[in-house]
Chains A and B, each alone.
Chain A
Amino acid sequence: MSSLAISLLDLEPDNAVCLEADDYQTRPGKWCAGCGDFGALNAVKRLLAKEQLQPEKMAFVSGIGCSSRFPHYVNAYGFHGIHGRALPIATGLKLARPELDVFVVMGDGDCTSIGAGHWIHATRYNANMTVLLLDNNIYGLTKNQTSPTTPLGYASNTSPRGSVLPALDPLQTTLGVSNASFVAQTADWVPAHLYATLQAAYAHNGFSFIRILQRCPKFTPDVFADQVKNPDMTELLVHPDGVDAPGLDKLFKARREHDPKDLDEARALAQRTDMLRLGLFFCDGSFPVYDEVRAVSPVSPEEKVEKLNQEFNRYVV
């Protein structure tokens, strides 16, 4: 907490303390040097500071994997759950406490393999939460096994002669689910875009799914190496309703106007493999949001007893 924040607190006791990005971090992340997860954590911290979220009013839910250590490093409530199952926990939490800000952090094995069923259904539930898929195209924590997003031909400990199947594309999959309401792609090596995408995701009312391409210096150092070196291999999707950040136009020459309300075009773009595309593929805030459509009004214990008596009268003999 900065000294400025403390002095403000002294002046205005009713106002919340102003928190800075670093106030949202509990301890240093224990990832490998050069891991893209650091970039994601930094962008998230910036978002939390910008929105001035109260640490106790938000929860970070994760599964198992390198990226799922994320909640331990955030000054918030956290639930580091089990492999592939972050989304059911987050859904339950959101149903229970719709007023909390819920963030989900998953890896590619976590979300697109063992948790694939939950991913599809959570997308369809469209509960209001911000969902980060940190996709490094490999199982890291278990040390270098092929994941569904590992590129065809890429070697790992479980596919030493190269992955034999084309990679699963999380964007296409998510965009194929009914009621998907927010699908974006960004990359850990473009912090401004990552941050802007997080802001858009947080602002969206619904299940905001962000695939963050994430470098793994240990096991997949080369999968994104060309794109990192040569910005011309990346095309930014831009639109007044999309994601953009100052300065990105200088870095990325290839820019494509894409209306994020255009689902057909979003699907078509997700399918194309000519370039790497970052941006907001799809966003529509008009879809049913599960925690809203399932909202129920509280009933007092006394009222419940009264209703129970009415209910039981049906069964009286």
Chain B
Amino acid sequence: MSSMANNKTTITAVPEHTVEIITNSGEGAQKCAQIFGQTCAKMGNGVWTVEIIPAEIEPPHHTVTSTSGNIVRFGTDKVTNWGDQSKLAVAFNDQVLLSRHRLDSFDDNCIILQESMWENHEDEAVRDGYAKAMEEMSSKNYRFINVPIEEETLKVVDNAQHGKNMFALGLLAEIYQRDLSIIEKQIAHIFRHKSAKVTEVNVELVKNGMAWARDNLDFQFQIDSIPAEESRVVMNGNQACALGAVAAGMEICAMYPITPATSVSHELSDIFETYGGMVHQAEDEIAAAGVALGASYGGKVALTVTSGPGMALKTEFLALAIMVEIPLVVLDVQRGGPSTGLPTKVEQSDLLSSLYGQPGDAPRVVIAPRTIEECFHSMVTARRIAETFRCVVIILTDANLATGVQQFTYPEFDSRWQGDPIDSSAVPEGLRPYDWDPETGMSRRIIPGTPGGQHTVTGLAHDENSRISYEPESNERACKMRSRKLAVFQTTLMPPPVYGDEDGDLLVVGWGSTQGAIEEAVERARAEGKSISSCQLAFLSPLEPGLKEIFSRFKKVMTVEINYSDTVGDPYITEETRRYGQLAWLLRAHTLIDIDCWTSCPGQPLRPKDIYNSIVKNFETGASK
């Protein structure tokens, strides 16, 4: 491809780049980036993408709140997070561009390809807005390049709003020397439900974008790729969860629409029935949990999918599932909260409510996938745990994993993941519905239809016969048995690995989706000779074994989390009033170690540079002690 570039073109080789496409909502930024990201992945680059989406469908155009976009970070090596700042951006107007500038999204020397039509627009207000935006952005050293995106697009289609994104894709394809044949295949796939003409037009737009870049730009970037040895797939976390549910042999997903979890059910709705499964869209979040529980009571493998506000509504049903010991898998794709909060944005704020959000003692398993690959496998794991221990398993992903796209090794499916049929042989005389093994709390699950097993499960306190029992001793025993199962399950876990040295000055502890960003930050600090390691937890209830021992090998331990915590030194905030990050709170109680935290809830994934700054600051204050 590079040979086709004009002879003034400088080709710069870089190990990685971060690219942003920024548009009004509804102008196709996601499709453009999706195809670009897929193409990079197919060419053998490491990839991570992040969606920038408003909560509204199509807010007023050409404003700072209408921004819809997507960030693609790709490189020669594996990419585990969205990185720090974008090196190149394509923007459809000055206002959406400005919104990203204000979020400090761009590298100081970012190259910005922007729509040229606004500068001399006939509407004075538009020209003014443009001038003010440019003035505000002049604080940075951005390189602006005007591109007649709309004008060029209109040469091919009548409505530029449905086409500019493909022209932009062409610009990127040329700048990064992407393989056009891969792009063509991706376009054909995305528009497979539409006419061949649609694919044709979109490909033409991409070609025009490439040609424009070839004729008008004087630079290209070269990012080498190392072809993977094993077969890999690329998808986002919600797709991985949906396919994981299928691979785990789940049979019913009961849900109610909620951002950012809903697309799991879109994936499932598309394919589930051909696997003998179904999606039930319930009348509300509560009913979704109830239908899943009812189906599981009947012996089906059931899942309910939601986000924070939905978790709050499901609370009572989760407690019931725990009380009656019916397996249930709950996927909570966390978003910003409390209340409606930040529907499309990431946060890790449902940890404690997932652990303790029920009245009474309601022990359950909580796991947090750290990568998109783990999103897939966590569904298989969750099912196995839920059935083995007749318990509730909550999977906490978040908006970062849900919409982030990354490659992972093609999973080797195992038909055993689908589980064995439930034992529905006649219940032997004397076997009770909760015949708890006094050591483990485990008991045989008896489902309706099983001869001789008739009993009524109840959310009331009950004894081994599932008879309502208010006896003090009976209630103590039942609580003990339900809790014991977690301790038994914990014996199957391994201590978490430490990233970096096994001991040192500072250990950074994270959970779930922040793994890539934390490790990248730790790597930077370690490259400077700082004695910092990290540890990323995937099991939150029960916690993985050996934490206290691992922590004790470091002078200081701190968590890094995407949630809120107070900062000592702020008005009224002292060591006594300070509220900690949720994992810090949990680990402090668990280990009795004075664990510090740095948390942030900006509604976007943490950047390695911000984590780096916080841990280095903590490291330095720690060292001075």
Binding site for B on A (CB under 8 A): 55-61, 64, 71-72, 74-82, 85, 87-97, 99-100, 117-118, 120-121, 294, 296-299, 301-302, 304-305, 307-309, 311-312, 314-317
Chain A residues with Cβ below 8 Å from B286 are 85, 88, 118
A92 and B292 contact, Cβ closer than 8 Å, known pairs A297-B276, A302-B415: yes
Residues A298 and B276 in contact, CB atoms below 8 Å apart? yes
In this complex, what residue of A is CB-closest to B301? A96
Q: Does B407 contact A (CB under 8 A)?
A: yes
CB within 8 A of B42: which of A307, A312, A317? A317
Residues A312 and B243 in contact, CB atoms below 8 Å apart? yes
Contact with A along B378-401 (1 / 0, CB 8 A): 000000000000000000000000
11 A-B contacts (beta carbon < 8 Å) = A71-B456, A76-B454, A80-B456, A92-B291, A92-B294, A95-B278, A95-B298, A118-B290, A121-B282, A296-B276, A307-B274
Chain A residues with Cβ below 8 Å from B251 are 96
Indicate the member of A75, A91, A302 with the most B CB atoms within 10 Å: A91
Q: Does B237 contact A (CB under 8 A)?
A: no
Q: Does B581 contact A (CB under 8 A)?
A: no
Q: Does B605 contact A (CB under 8 A)?
A: no
Residues B38 and A317 in contact, CB atoms below 8 Å apart? yes
Chain B residues with Cβ below 8 Å from A72 are 456, 458, 467-468
In this complex, what residue of B is CB-closest to A306? B413
Chain A residues with Cβ below 8 Å from B458 are 72, 80
Alpha-carbon separation in the docked complex, A183 to B38 (Å): 55
Chain A residues with Cβ below 8 Å from B451 are 56
Alpha-carbon separation in the docked complex, A87 to B320 (Å): 15
Alpha-carbon separation in the docked complex, A216 to B252 (Å): 40
Going nearest first, the 5 A-B pairs with the smallest beta carbon separation are A92-B294, A88-B290, A78-B456, A96-B298, A92-B291
Known: A80-B457, A82-B459, A95-B295. 17 other contacts (CB 8 A): A56-B448, A56-B450, A64-B459, A72-B456, A72-B467, A91-B287, A94-B294, A95-B278, A95-B280, A96-B251, A299-B276, A304-B249, A307-B274, A316-B231, A317-B44, A317-B232, A317-B407
Chain A residues with Cβ below 8 Å from B459 are 64, 80-82
Q: Does B284 contact A (CB under 8 A)?
A: yes
Residues B280 and A82 in contact, CB atoms below 8 Å apart? no
In this complex, what residue of B is CB-closest to A92? B294
**Could you tell me the distance in whole angstroms from the C-beta of B263 to the nearest C-beta in chain A?**
15
Chain A residues with Cβ below 8 Å from B553 are none
In this complex, what residue of A is CB-closest to B279? A294
In this complex, what residue of B is CB-closest to A95? B295
**Could you tell me the distance in whole angstroms from the C-beta of B39 to the nearest C-beta in chain A?**
9
CB within 8 A of A89: which of B278, B297, B460? B297
Q: Does B98 contact A (CB under 8 A)?
A: no
**Could you tell me the distance in whole angstroms from the C-beta of B310 to the nearest C-beta in chain A?**
14
Alpha-carbon separation in the docked complex, A85 to B254 (Å): 15
Chain B residues with Cβ below 8 Å from A97 are 298-300, 448-449
CB within 8 A of B413: which of A96, A100, A308? A308
Alpha-carbon separation in the docked complex, A294 to B278 (Å): 8
Residues B234 and A315 in contact, CB atoms below 8 Å apart? yes
Chain B residues with Cβ below 8 Å from A77 are 448-449, 453-456
In this complex, what residue of B is CB-closest to A84? B286
Number of CB contacts from chain A to chain B under 8 A:
193
Q: Does B317 contact A (CB under 8 A)?
A: yes
Indicate the member of B232, B233, B296, B407 with the most A CB atoms within 10 Å: B233
Residues B295 and A92 in contact, CB atoms below 8 Å apart? yes
Chain B residues with Cβ below 8 Å from A120 are 283
Residues B456 and A81 in contact, CB atoms below 8 Å apart? no
Interface of B is mostly: mixed
Residues B457 and A296 in contact, CB atoms below 8 Å apart? no
Q: Does B343 contact A (CB under 8 A)?
A: no
Q: Does B309 contact A (CB under 8 A)?
A: no
Chain B residues with Cβ below 8 Å from A87 are 287, 290
In this complex, what residue of B is CB-closest to A64? B459
In this complex, what residue of A is CB-closest to B39? A317
**Could you tell me the distance in whole angstroms from the C-beta of B179 to the nearest C-beta in chain A?**
12
Residues A299 and B275 in contact, CB atoms below 8 Å apart? yes
Residues A56 and B449 in contact, CB atoms below 8 Å apart? yes
Residues B231 and A304 in contact, CB atoms below 8 Å apart? no
Chain B residues with Cβ below 8 Å from A315 are 233-235, 239
Chain A residues with Cβ below 8 Å from B341 are none
Chain A residues with Cβ below 8 Å from B615 are none
Residues A92 and B41 in contact, CB atoms below 8 Å apart? no
Contact with A along B356-390 (1 / 0, CB 8 A): 00000000000000000000000000000000000
Chain B residues with Cβ below 8 Å from A76 are 454
Chain A residues with Cβ below 8 Å from B438 are none
Chain B residues with Cβ below 8 Å from A297 are 276
**Could you tell me the distance in whole angstroms from the C-beta of B326 to the nearest C-beta in chain A?**
9
Alpha-carbon separation in the docked complex, A298 to B278 (Å): 11
Chain B residues with Cβ below 8 Å from A305 are 413-415
In this complex, what residue of A is CB-closest to B458? A80
CB within 8 A of A79: which of B233, B280, B414, B456? B456
**Could you tell me the distance in whole angstroms from the C-beta of A17 to the nearest C-beta in chain B?**
12
Chain B residues with Cβ below 8 Å from A71 are 456
A100 and B411 contact, Cβ closer than 8 Å, known pairs A72-B468, A117-B287, A121-B283: no
Chain B residues with Cβ below 8 Å from A92 are 252, 254, 280, 290-298, 302
In this complex, what residue of B is CB-closest to A56? B451
**Could you tell me the distance in whole angstroms from the C-beta of A130 to the nearest C-beta in chain B?**
15
Chain B residues with Cβ below 8 Å from A64 are 459
Residues B287 and A118 in contact, CB atoms below 8 Å apart? yes
**Could you tell me the distance in whole angstroms from the C-beta of B282 to the nearest C-beta in chain A?**
7
CB within 8 A of B234: which of A90, A294, A308, A317? A317
Indicate the member of A60, A71, A77, A298 with the most B CB atoms within 10 Å: A77
Alpha-carbon separation in the docked complex, A315 to B290 (Å): 33
Residues B317 and A82 in contact, CB atoms below 8 Å apart? yes
Indicate the member of A58, A82, A118, A294 with the most B CB atoms within 10 Å: A82
**Could you tell me the distance in whole angstroms from the C-beta of B459 to the nearest C-beta in chain A?**
6
Alpha-carbon separation in the docked complex, A92 to B282 (Å): 10
Contact with A along B578-606 (1 / 0, CB 8 A): 00000000000000000000000000000
Indicate the member of B232, B287, B289 with the most A CB atoms within 10 Å: B287
Alpha-carbon separation in the docked complex, A307 to B271 (Å): 10
Chain B residues with Cβ below 8 Å from A91 are 280, 287, 290-291, 294
Q: Does B200 contact A (CB under 8 A)?
A: no
A96 and B294 contact, Cβ closer than 8 Å, known pairs A80-B458, A82-B317, A121-B283: yes
Residues B457 and A78 in contact, CB atoms below 8 Å apart? yes
Alpha-carbon separation in the docked complex, A78 to B466 (Å): 10
Alpha-carbon separation in the docked complex, A134 to B458 (Å): 19
Q: Does B517 contact A (CB under 8 A)?
A: no
Alpha-carbon separation in the docked complex, A57 to B410 (Å): 42
Q: Does B247 contact A (CB under 8 A)?
A: yes
In this complex, what residue of A is CB-closest to B323? A82
Indicate the member of A75, A299, A307 with the most B CB atoms within 10 Å: A299
Alpha-carbon separation in the docked complex, A315 to B242 (Å): 13
Please provide the chain B residues from 166 to 189 with a CB less than 8 Å away from any CB of chain A in the complex. Answer: 189
Contact with A along B458-492 (1 / 0, CB 8 A): 11100000011000000000000000000000000
Residues B448 and A294 in contact, CB atoms below 8 Å apart? no
CB within 8 A of B291: which of A88, A99, A312? A88
Chain B residues with Cβ below 8 Å from A90 are 294
Alpha-carbon separation in the docked complex, A137 to B301 (Å): 39
**Could you tell me the distance in whole angstroms from the C-beta of B95 to the nearest C-beta in chain A?**
35
CB within 8 A of B271: which of A75, A78, A89, A311? A311
Chain B residues with Cβ below 8 Å from A308 are 243, 246-247, 413
Chain A residues with Cβ below 8 Å from B278 are 95, 294, 296
A307 and B291 contact, Cβ closer than 8 Å, known pairs A57-B449, A89-B297: no
Q: Does B99 contact A (CB under 8 A)?
A: no
A85 and B317 contact, Cβ closer than 8 Å, known pairs A57-B449, A299-B274: yes
Chain B residues with Cβ below 8 Å from A304 are 246-247, 249, 275-276, 415, 418
In this complex, what residue of A is CB-closest to B247? A308
Alpha-carbon separation in the docked complex, A130 to B539 (Å): 43
